[in-house]
């Protein structure tokens, strides 16, 4: 007796599906096997560059600084900062009687804003020899820039500045130049001042005419060395007029007249806190100028 077994029929679509499922593991295994044969990437190489870390000195050096920054915004001409002797001056309180000698630095940072008739404001820095021998003042480095020369921009947190072309503002650019040993061509390598005479280190304009907004500023920074005692003054004066009506810079004599007969430039900042004060309102940077010079005068006497 023969027994026949009927083979169940599998629907064609289901058979194709089952066949596909059987093939997928084979393909996946083959693909994984190929990945396993790829050469692994080498481990990153560690490169060490040694460098020197120097500690901060923890104190100021002994080089006095003439820091002219008060008032920062100038509306009326006059005396900004003077270390001249007060004798013979119309406003003795405007003069600190502090002669510089040897190495000293000079920084001046001032603005003019919507002056009357868009007058050009001039910034003058005068050096005077009160002694009986000729004094030589070496201009070791020096730079002066307007806002147009170095606009205020926001820089990234870290910028390489090997060529000195990364700066944000005129003061930033002037200091960068000085640190690189630059002395701009407009400044002499040396000022020779006869006994009792004065010379202008700076006599530069801060123009606002033809600007989109009548606002401009100038920042200047110098490293100086004097062979003898010199008084220093920074002054602000509006341009004088030529016979044809054009502007001109003030002469040495006109600067000297302003120094002798002039008053403080305005508007004035708040009264600086005395150096020995232990309380009160904290002054702004511009308000520390005269107190700082008094501190230097007491701390580093020149004899």
Instruction: Tell me: pLDDT of 51 over 70.
Output: yes
Prediction pTM value: 0.73
For residue 184, CA distances in Å to 142, 143, 189, 222, 251 come to 6, 6, 10, 10, 22
3-state helix/strand/coil string of 56-125? CCCCCCCCCEEEECCCCEECECEEEEECCCCCCCCCHHHCCCCCEEEEEEEEEEEEEECCHHHCCEEEEE
> How buried is 242 (Cβ within 10 angstroms: 0-12 exposed, 13-18 middle, 19+ buried)?
exposed
Within 13 Å, how many C-alpha atoms sit on residue 89's CB side?
22
Instruction: Tell me: pLDDT of 11 over 60.
Output: no
Signed CA dihedral, 160, 111, 85, 287: sign only? negative
Instruction: Tell me: pLDDT of 299 over 80.
Output: no
Kindly report the average pLDDT of the chain as a whole number: 84
Instruction: Tell me: pLDDT of 272 over 90.
Output: no
pLDDT tens per residue, range 169-191: 999 999 999 999 999 999 999 99
Instruction: Look at residue 129 and give its three-state secondary structure.
Output: coil
Percent of the chain residues past pLDDT 70, beyond the cut? 79
Instruction: Tell me: pLDDT of 83 over 80.
Output: yes
| Cβ 233 vs Cβ 173: under 8 Å | no
Phi and psi for 156 in degrees, rounded to 5?
-60, 165
Band of pLDDT at residue 21, cut at 50, 70 and 90: very low
pLDDT at site 38: 72
Average pLDDT over residues 57-86: 94
């Amino acid at each position: 007796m023969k027994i026949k077994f009927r083979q169940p029929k599998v629907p064609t679509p289901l058979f194709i599906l089952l066949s596909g499922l059987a093939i997928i593991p084979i393909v996946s295994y083959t693909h994984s096997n190929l990945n396993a044969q790829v050469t692994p990437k080498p481990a990153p190489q560690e490169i060490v560059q040694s460098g020197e870390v120097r500690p901060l000195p923890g104190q100021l050096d002994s080089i006095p600084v003439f820091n002219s920054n008060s008032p920062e915004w100038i509306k009326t001409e006059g005396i900004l900062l003077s270390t001249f002797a007060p004798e013979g001056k119309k406003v003795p309180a405007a003069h600190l009687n502090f002669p510089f000698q040897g190495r000293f630095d000079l920084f001046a940072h001032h603005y003019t804003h919507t002056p009357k008739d868009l007058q050009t404001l001039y910034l003058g820095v005068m050096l005077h020899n009160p002694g009986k021998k000729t004094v030589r003042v070496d201009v070791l480095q020096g730079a002066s820039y307007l806002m147009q020369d170095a606009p205020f921009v926001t820089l990234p947190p870290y910028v390489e500045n090997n060529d000195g072309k990364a700066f944000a503002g005129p003061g930033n650019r002037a200091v960068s130049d000085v640190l690189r040993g630059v002395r701009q061509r407009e400044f002499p390598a040396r000022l020779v001042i006869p006994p009792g005479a004065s010379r202008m280190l700076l006599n530069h304009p801060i123009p606002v005419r033809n600007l989109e907004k009548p606002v401009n500023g100038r920042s200047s920074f110098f490293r100086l060395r004097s062979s003898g005692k010199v008084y220093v003054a920074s002054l602000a004066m509006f341009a004088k007029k030529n016979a044809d009506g054009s502007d001109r810079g003030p002469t040495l004599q006109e600067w000297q007249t302003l120094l002798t007969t002039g008053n403080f430039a305005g508007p004035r900042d708040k009264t600086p806190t005395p150096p020995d004060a232990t309380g009160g309102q904290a002054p702004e940077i511009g308000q520390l100028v005269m107190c700082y010079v008094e501190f230097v005068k007491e701390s580093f006497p020149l004899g």
